[in-house]
């Protein structure tokens, strides 16, 4: 089950955190993984780990918010692989602040990466998938796609857009056998979270990490591997009847 042999998977933001976990697991399950990231070093390290474990992986350096860069990168990928079976729209950025503490530059930065990036990469992938007879797009949304979270105004805006883009792509291309779903995690403990807490809450790191853990009724944050295993199911043939859905991975948050 969950065999991805013969499939080409592009993972944006694949060099670290959730993207790294997805890239590594998909490589282990037989996919040819393209680790797409702005940071060439982390992308190379992730790809090297996949290859050293017997998998197949390539690196693509790309700014998902730049239309010309996305088009050129996907043209190169498809030119080399001749197909594109799975796209994971994982690349994203965060911001802390309510509407009064969200500058226009902050708003635009989050929109460019979290919304426009999903649009551009999906727009590049869909025609390839349609031509080859099908494919899977999996977007990384958030529980803030469903509920309000304090001081996450701009981030919530972008993840609401990801949810509705997911449903739109799913309904528009269901007859062409292109499935599109999204995962909606609560807090996931990644190196990004550690760095974010260190930068924004100096001297309070342990207390803030505990607060982030306590937010989930299970009393902890999720792990990148837990997200990756759900991603594997949704991108596998075992989920061939699933499209247009948003899957919470939230430690019980939405049950409160």
Catalytic site positions: 155
- Determine contact, residues 5/27, Cβ cutoff 8 Å: no
Burial of 218 (0-12, 13-18, 19+ CB in 10 A): middle
Main-chain dihedrals φ then ψ at residue 133, nearest 5 degrees? 100, 15
Residues in CB range of 109: below 8 A, 6 or more apart: 93, 95
- Determine contact, residues 14/39, Cβ cutoff 8 Å: no
Q: How many other C-beta atoms lie within 10 A of the C-beta of residue 101?
A: 12
Distance CA 67, CA 57 (A): 24
- What the block records as the tokens of 134 is 């099908």
- What the block records as the tokens of 252 is 């019980």
- Determine contact, residues 12/91, Cβ cutoff 8 Å: yes
- What the block records as the tokens of 120 is 């551009």
Best CA proximity match to 136, nearest among 241, 58, 47, 250: 241
Distance CA 87, CA 85 (A): 7
- Determine contact, residues 235/88, Cβ cutoff 8 Å: yes
């Amino acid at each position: 089950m969950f065999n991805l042999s013969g499939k080409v998977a592009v993972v944006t933001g694949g060099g670290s955190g959730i993207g790294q976990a997805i890239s590594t697991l998909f490589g282990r399950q037989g996919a040819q993984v393209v680790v797409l990231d702005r940071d060439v070093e982390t992308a190379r390290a992730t790809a090297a780990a996949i290859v050293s474990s017997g998998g197949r992986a390539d690196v693509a350096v790309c700014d998902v918010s730049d239309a010309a860069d996305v088009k050129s990168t996907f043209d190169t990928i498809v030119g080399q692989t001749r197909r594109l079976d799975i796209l994971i729209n994982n690349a994203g950025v965060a911001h802390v602040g309510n509407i009064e503490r969200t500058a226009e530059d902050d708003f635009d930065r989050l929109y460019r990466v979290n919304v426009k990036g999903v649009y551009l990469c999906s727009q590049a992938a869909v025609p390839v998938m349609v031509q080859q007879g099908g494919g899977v797009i999996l977007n990384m949304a958030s529980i803030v796609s469903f509920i309000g979270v304090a001081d996450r105004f701009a981030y919530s805006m972008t993840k609401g857009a990801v949810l509705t883009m997911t449903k739109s792509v799913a309904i528009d291309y269901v007859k062409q056998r292109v499935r599109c779903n999204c995962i909606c995690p609560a807090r996931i403990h990644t190196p990004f979270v550690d760095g974010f807490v260190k930068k924004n809450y100096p001297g309070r790191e342990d207390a803030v990490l505990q607060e982030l853990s306590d937010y989930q009724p299970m009393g902890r944050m999720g792990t990148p591997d837990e997200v990756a295993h759900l991603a594997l199911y949704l991108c596998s043939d075992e989920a061939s009847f699933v499209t247009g859905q948003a899957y919470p991975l939230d430690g019980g948050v939405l049950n409160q």
